[in-house]
């Protein structure tokens, strides 16, 4: 009798997981989220994977955890809004793997202090920890990653502005990062890019170069898509929290729009 109860539980659990989809949110501080949890969307239809405890928790801000060199939202993020809209559109619940660190660079040349880099080498490489967390989440849920959502570029934009690296080097690093994700996960996981915004009060030379590189990679690589383009408008719209971070209203919009475009 006990054996049949266990089997029944596993069947119900697996059926429930069939109504869920696993996404990764990676990048730097605007992916972490620097908004306001009080203004974040509340949803009962999202989950986040936490490496600490190998557990699932409701996807409510502040999303994320300070573990594996990744960070928790301070205090609001785009991800509850993403999960809410995705459920409205598809009827499936999001399981999110937050894997972002403030100030992290895509290219090693742009790495600043201990803020980390997504490049294979550097003072604090982040890629291997991201793979570890994603693989843990896949084992926990029995789901394969449906897509990686990428919000990153301000650190490299500053390095380009300061002539410490070139736009071509950022573009090559981004393309290689996508290739590494797909190689390690064993399949051509879709890669979704939120274009890098501008920094309030700073000439957007570097930011424009990063956006052009992101758009170029999306045009050339299969299953790479720009899913949000209006971030450069945020400073003029007074939707910034500070000179570089998006306010909660902007984060909520990013989440909603991205959820309408991902598969």
Q: What is the pLDDT along the chain (263 residues), one digit of tens a residue?
A: 455 443 433 333 343 445 999 999 999 999 999 999 999 999 999 999 999 999 999 999 999 999 999 999 999 999 999 999 999 999 999 999 999 999 999 999 999 999 999 999 999 999 999 999 999 999 999 999 999 999 999 999 999 999 999 999 999 999 999 999 999 999 999 999 999 999 988 899 999 999 999 999 999 999 999 999 999 999 999 999 999 999 999 999 999 999 999 99
| Dihedral angle computed from the Cα positions of residues 246, 40, 61 and 38, in that order, rounded to the nearest 10 degrees | 100
Token pair of 77 as six digits: 């993020």
Looking at domain 29-261, its CATH architecture is 3-Layer(aba) Sandwich (3.40)
Strand 93-100 versus strand 20-27 pairing type = parallel
Q: What are the boundaries of each domain within the chain?
A: 29-261
Q: Taking the model in full, what pTM does it have? A: 0.93
């Amino acid at each position: 009798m006990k054996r049949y109860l266990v089997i029944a539980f596993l069947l119900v659990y697996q059926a429930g997981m069939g109504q869920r989809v696993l996404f990764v949110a990676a990048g730097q501080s605007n992916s972490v989220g620097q908004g306001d949890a009080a203004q974040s969307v509340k949803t009962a239809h999202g989950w986040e994977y936490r490496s600490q405890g190998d557990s699932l928790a409701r996807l409510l801000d502040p999303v994320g955890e300070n573990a594996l060199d990744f960070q928790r939202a301070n205090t609001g993020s785009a991800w509850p809004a993403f999960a809410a809209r995705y459920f409205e559109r598809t009827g499936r619940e999001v399981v999110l793997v937050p894997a972002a660190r403030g100030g992290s660079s895509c290219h090693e040349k742009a790495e600043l202090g201990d803020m980390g880099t997504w490049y294979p080498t550097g003072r604090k490489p982040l890629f291997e920890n991201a793979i570890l967390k994603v693989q843990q989440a896949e084992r926990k849920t029995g789901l394969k990653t449906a897509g990686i959502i990428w919000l990153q570029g301000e650190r490299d934009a500053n390095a380009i502005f300061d002539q410490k690296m070139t736009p071509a080097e950022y573009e090559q690093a981004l393309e290689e990062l996508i290739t590494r994700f797909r190689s390690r996960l064993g399949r051509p996981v879709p890669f979704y890019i939120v274009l890098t915004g501008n920094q309030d009060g700073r000439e957007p030379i570097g930011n424009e170069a990063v956006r052009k590189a992101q758009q170029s990679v999306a045009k050339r690589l299969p299953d790479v898509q720009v899913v949000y383009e209006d971030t450069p408008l945020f400073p003029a719209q007074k939707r910034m929290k500070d000179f570089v971070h998006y306010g909660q209203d902007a984060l909520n919009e990013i989440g909603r729009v991205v959820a309408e475009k991902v598969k």
